[in-house]
Amino acid sequence: MSKNVCRMIGINAMIISVFLLIGGLYLPQAGISSFVTTSCLVAGVLLLLVGIAFYKILKTD
């Protein structure tokens, strides 16, 4: 993949992870089950790590 594609994937993954993390933190107030909130938090953290990895791979090349 080219450097620009890696950068775009990393930034998009980080943006989506922020929304998942916010949703995971504020959904318990809406009465949603704990499974949904936990899965949102886990998915947000994983996407954040993937986004950082893609962004850092770009910077090292």
- For the chain, the structural domain boundaries read 3-60
Q: For the chain, which residues score pLDDT lower than 50?
A: none
The CA distance from 52 to 11, in Å, is 8
Q: pTM of the full predicted structure? A: 0.81
Residue 39's pLDDT is 92
Residue 59's pLDDT is 64
CB–CB of 9/52 below 8 Å? no
CB–CB of 51/21 below 8 Å? no
Residue 44's pLDDT is 94
Residue 21's pLDDT is 92
CB contact set of 38 (below 8 Å; sequence gap of 6+)? 24
